[in-house]
């Protein structure tokens, strides 16, 4: 079960430093876990220790009094609050390190491990750690979705494929109470929580932005409308696009993850949304590189850059680089006042940034990407391809795509996850590169749309506060940043050298 040390040991082994036994709050209380209803003040700015340095969290609206605050209160029936799965110390996400510490301290009594989704299936013995193995080892919660998918009025959507459970290691998809053949048919998949920080970049569409900076948003007809406001929405909030607004997402999370007995009140919704819209998180200090922000630092690093930056802008390398320029760190002989180790680390970060921006490679057979008129294959870098949003490193398009995280033949074999066989109907538009019969650990966006072409596609995620919230990818299949880079290297046959991989790790951990 001890996957907890992978980010600590792997990343710090790269630098030659010893791994940390456990993180503690920097300049704050001995424990950095925010429990539901604990009360107290979330400061206007705070830093929290993690495996490679410190993450800084800024509340743009000032300090937050958490007592009786809807985001920090156990407003449901299982003892959880929103903060349970969106911890400040984890960049407003949730790390396996934190999850395992909570189990070691409280076991199944901690609301984090509530049976509804903190267990592999609610029917398992809850006191047994094995029943929570996906959460403990990969940070995965059970996401249970109705089958077939539903329209807003509750009616069944038309579906272009049949789905069969091939392997069911958790037992939930074939269970008589929770499975696909139960009285209320549902499909269970297992996903990481997305961080609730830097939200304006996920929800705000550009206004008055030059065409070369806004890309696909020039044609908003590609996007759905929020039924409450009638305004177009970005779809960036959830990995499958089902939470189209902060209000919608809060209602859904309260019902499914907090198990509220009655809908959120208008006051609770406003309080949750207001808090989520004011919080920013990014790495601010590195144990090797020292301070990452301030005078002489790259301008895009740290949460203040996110707080002050404009959302919905397309990074246009080399003119408008996603995280700004790193030239001031590129020469180890410069950086006056820094130690030799700091200078070397910063030079490595600068090299990693240049790889991210400029190293072009062949991107091929990515469903819902290569088939959008870009060409197959298509030559791009990380920053000019799928991670192009200024300051955030996600896809501005918005970017549902099948990278191969869920679908075979590219997905890493994960025997602890369910495996589904999807057979698309003869009259359906097929998945562009996998045809009409697809094996997948998670059908992704198609569980919401019912479309064959969406099988396995998920939304790209922001690339900030990464060091605070391992593991990575929607299914937790990369235990640390090196594993994430190795996946891309294999998937697209990039051919990174060992030094290039280290430079990319250092760059990403500085974000």
For the residues of 194-246, what is the DSSP string, one character each?
PP--STHHHHPPPSS--HHHHGGGG-GGGS-B-TTT--B----SSTTS---SH
Task: Identify the pLDDT of residue 320.
Answer: 82
Beta bridge partners of 362: 379
pLDDT digits (tens, 9 = 90+) for 346-395: 999 999 999 999 999 999 999 888 888 778 999 999 998 889 899 999 98
H-helix or E-strand containing 28? none
Name the 3-class secondary structure at 55: strand
pLDDT at residue number 231? 87
Dihedral angle, C-alpha 98, 199, 313, 352, nearest 10 °: -10
Residues constituting the chain: 511
pLDDT given for residue 9 in this prediction: 30
What pLDDT does 300 receive? 95
Token reading at 205: 């569409």
Q: What is the mean pLDDT of each run of 10 residues along the chain (511 residues)?
A: 34 28 32 90 96 97 97 97 98 98 97 98 98 98 97 91 98 98 97 97 76 52 82 89 93 97 97 98 97 94 96 78 92 78 96 95 92 87 90 84 93 93 97 95 97 94 97 97 97 97 98 98
CA pair distance 367, 429, nearest whole angstrom:
12
Task: Output the pLDDT for position 5.
Answer: 35
Sequence-ordered list of residues with C-beta below 8 angstroms from that of 105, at least 6 positions apart, any chain: none
How do the domains of the chain map onto residue ranges? 6-155+169-280, 311-401+458-509
CB 102 within 8 A of CB 118: no
Alpha-carbon span 499 to 493, nearest angstrom = 17
Q: pLDDT value at position 12? A: 29
């Amino acid at each position: 079960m001890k996957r907890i040390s992978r980010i600590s040991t792997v990343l710090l082994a790269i630098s030659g430093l010893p791994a940390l036994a456990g993180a503690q709050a920097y300049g704050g209380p001995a424990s950095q876990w925010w429990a539901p209803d604990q009360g107290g003040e979330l400061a206007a700015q705070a830093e929290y220790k993690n495996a490679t340095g410190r993450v800084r969290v800024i509340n743009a609206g000032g300090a937050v009094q958490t007592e009786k605050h809807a985001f920090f209160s156990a407003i449901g029936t299982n003892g959880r609050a929103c903060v349970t799965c969106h911890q400040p110390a984890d960049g407003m996400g949730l790390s396996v390190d934190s999850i395992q510490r909570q189990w070691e301290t409280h076991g199944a009594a901690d609301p984090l491990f509530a049976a509804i989704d903190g267990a592999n299936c609610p029917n398992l013995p809850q006191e047994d750690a094995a029943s929570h193995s996906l959460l403990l080892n990969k940070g995965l919660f059970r996401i249970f979705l109705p089958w077939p998918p539903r329209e807003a009025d509750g009616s069944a959507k038309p579906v272009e494929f049949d789905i069969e459970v091939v392997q069911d290691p958790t037992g939930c998809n074939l269970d008589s109470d929770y499975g696909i053949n139960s009285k209320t048919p549902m499909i269970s998949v297992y996903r990481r929580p997305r961080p609730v920080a830097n939200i304006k970049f996920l929800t705000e569409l550009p206004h008055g932005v030059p065409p070369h900076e806004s890309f696909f948003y020039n044609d908003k007809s590609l996007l759905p409308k929020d039924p409450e406001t009638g305004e177009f929405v970005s779809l960036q909030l959830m990995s499958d696009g089902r939470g189209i607004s902060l209000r919608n997402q809060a209602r859904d999370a309260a019902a499914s993850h907090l198990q509220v007995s009655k809908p959120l009140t208008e006051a609770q919704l406003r309080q949750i949304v207001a808090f989520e819209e004011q919080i920013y998180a990014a790495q601010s200090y590195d144990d090797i590189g020292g301070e990452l922000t301030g005078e002489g630092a790259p301008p895009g690093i740290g949460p203040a850059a996110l707080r002050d930056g404009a959302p919905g802008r397309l990074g246009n390398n080399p003119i408008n680089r996603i995280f700004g320029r790193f030239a001031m760190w590129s020469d180890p002989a410069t950086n006056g006042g820094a130690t030799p180790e700091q200078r070397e680390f910063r030079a490595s970060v600068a090299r990693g940034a240049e790889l991210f921006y400029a190293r072009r490679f062949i991107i091929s057979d990515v469903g819902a990407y290569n088939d959008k008129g870009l060409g197959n294959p298509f030559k791009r870098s990380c920053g000019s391809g799928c991670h192009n949003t200024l300051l955030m490193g996600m896809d501005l398009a918005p970017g549902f795509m099948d990278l191969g995280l869920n679908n075979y033949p590219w997905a890493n074999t994960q025997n602890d996850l369910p495996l589904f066989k999807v057979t698309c109907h003869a009259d359906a538009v097929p998945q562009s590169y996998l045809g009409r019969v697809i094996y997948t650990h998670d059908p992704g966006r198609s569980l919401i749309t019912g479309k064959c072409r969406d099988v396995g596609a998920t939304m790209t995620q922001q690339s900030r506060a990464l060091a605070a919230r391992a593991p990575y990818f929607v299914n937790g299949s990369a235990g640390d940043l090196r594993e994430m880079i190795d996946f891309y290297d294999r998937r697209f046959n990039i051919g990174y050298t060992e030094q290039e991989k280290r430079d990319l790790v250092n760059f990403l951990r500085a974000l």
